Amino acid sequence: MRILMIGPDSEAKGGIATVIKNFKTYFQAEQQEIQYLTTWKEGSFFTRMKATIQSILQIKKTIRRDKIDVVHVHMAQQGSFFRKSLLIWRARKECRIVLHMHASQFDIFYNNSKPLLQKYIRWILSQPDKVVVLSDEWADFYNKLTAVPVTVIENAVPMPLENTYDSDSKHIIMFGRIGKRKGSYDVLAVAKKMQDAYPDVQIYLYGDGETEEVRQEIVAKQLDNVILGGWIDSAAKEQILRDAVLHILPSYHEGLPMAILETMAHGIPNLSTYVGGIPQAIQDGVNGTLIEAGDTAQLEVRMIQFLSDREMRMRYSQAAFVTIQERFAMKPYQQKWEETYQNMMQ
């Protein structure tokens, strides 16, 4: 069976690119072969548009020439939806299609759209043979928009050979696009009190996005304990993961963040929120901490509680490592996708 995977370049920024990179690195099946069609590349506007236009022009030819059985489309909201909708439209009569939804705010995107666009969104969602989402919550949402079968396949990450967690580390980290959706400003809101309570603990924000706005607020609030680390590559991330005591992600909207799974795989406990698929990975008080989105008072309390209790840190770390090992590792993830592809041909 031949699968054509459609999405951003695997070296691009973001969770979808990480998922595709993991497919390229780890997916091995005797009966199935995956090839890739890039719709997005980092760079200038011309570079991005060139990748999109080429993918739209090439998809039919590629499907026919390479005898593709299944097209696997990775989609989010906004621009990603419009790009991929054109590709789905071009491929829909050529072969089977599985639509893999990663969007963290597709509900907002849909609800804020004009009626005509909503109709188009529903029509696009009716074209694939299967829709795959990241959580039960998102399955409930998409089931209201389409009669196409909706299946949950949670994200997965590669596992280190052992838990390398350092419970005495003084580094709190946060991965992801910097801005309101990820809760970056909530972290800044509590950072001053954290600085007073734990002056030797540093908070590192890694990612792109609203970096200048956040930088200005760091200066205005005189936050000596918050550092903007920028966007990092895989090699740099590996070292960071070996020296972090906690990963925080107080998001307002999510699918199932790769950052949470990656840090848990390294035994790093997470402090996050009850949104999207996050509660499927983090159990409050068992392998991490969950709060309501926007509750900065609770964020402060739970951070201080965590830093003051080494036994809790060790307990959460081991439970987080086991959670990924048993539920979010690459081997069972690959098996789910093998079965999905195979069932689509029956």
Report the pLDDT value the prediction gives residue 235, as an integer from 0 to 100. Answer: 82
- H/E stretch holding 172 reads strand 171-175
| pLDDT at residue 14, rounded to an integer | 86
Local confidence band at 326 (pLDDT 50, 70, 90 cut-offs): very high
Beta bridge partners of 130: 98
Q: Give 200's DSSP letter.
A: T
**pLDDT-derived band of residue 50, with 50, 70 and 90 as boundaries?**
very high
Tell me the torsion sign for CA atoms 220, 224, 225, 228. Answer: positive
Average pLDDT over residues 125-142: 96
Q: Is the pLDDT of residue 201 over 90?
A: yes
pLDDT of residue 255: 87
Residue 22, pLDDT above cutoff 90: yes
Q: pLDDT tens digits, residue range 247-266?
A: 999 999 998 999 999 999 99
Q: Give the whole-angstrom CA distance, residue 87 versus residue 73.
A: 9
Residues 151 and 341: their CA atoms lie apart, in Å, by 12
pLDDT in the model for residue 1: 95
Q: Residue 346: what pLDDT? A: 80
- Structure pTM? 0.87
pLDDT for 62: 97
Q: Which pLDDT score, from 0 to 100, does residue 43 have? A: 87
Q: In the chain, which residues fall in CATH 3.40.50.2000?
A: 2-156+329-344, 171-327
Nearest C-alpha neighbor of 3 from the set 38, 52, 37, 26: 37
> Angle between the 310-327 and 296-307 helix axes, to the nearest 10 degrees?
100
Q: Give the fold, CATH level 3, of 2-156+329-344.
A: Rossmann fold (3.40.50)
CATH (residue range 171-327): 3.40.50.2000
pLDDT at 133 over 90: yes
Distance CA 265, CA 31 (A): 29
- Encode pLDDT of 271-315 as tens digits: 999 998 999 999 999 999 999 999 999 999 999 999 999 999 999
Alpha carbon 102 to its chain centroid, in Å, reads: 7
Determine the Cα–Cα distance for residues 79 and 45; give it in Å rounded to an integer. Answer: 13
